Amino acid sequence: MNKNIKSAYFGAGCFWGVEYYFQQIQGVKKVVSGYMGGTQENPSYQDVIYRNTGHFEVVKVEYSADEVSYENLVKFFFEIHDFSQIDGQGPDLGYQYLSVIFTQNQDEKNIVNNVISLLENMNMKVATKIIDGHMFYSAEDYHQNYYQKTGKTPYCHSHRKIF
């Protein structure tokens, strides 16, 4: 087993599209849709959508640090959504759909802040929240690998090269 498998946590609107794009990155071993950042333990999708749980829709990205760096994952995250949108992502509006990165340590926080500085130096506005790590809760099975299961494509995410 590879001992250099790490996890990163990103929210960029509906987790289906975020999951879809991160699954295409070489070095990413697994992507799990879920919820993070709130106060309710073991929230359901219905809880997150209709109750004030404080959770965001996020993905847990398990990756080989020998194959892809955390910095490259962060840069990719910014390339797959509108990080300037302050009220959600595309047509999905609400707190649970905000742009957010959960950092696990000071090194990750420094990397995120450096990437944000690069974007701001390109005159881009960044609304992404940076939050210290919280407990991650996996979403229900029907949310996992949604686009692979349905054959559909993301409706509010696309990849645009920035870096």
Active-site positions read 14
The CA distances from residue 44 to 6, 18, 38, 63, 143, in Å, are 25, 19, 12, 26, 11
DSSP 127: -
3-state secondary structure of 126: coil
> H or E stretch including 119?
helix 106-121
Q: Do residues 57 and 156 lie in contact, with contact meaning Cβ atoms separated by under 8 Å? A: no
Question: Which of 139, 120, 73, 62 is CA-nearest to residue 101?
Answer: 73
The CA distances from residue 72 to 28, 68, 92, 115, in Å, are 11, 7, 26, 10
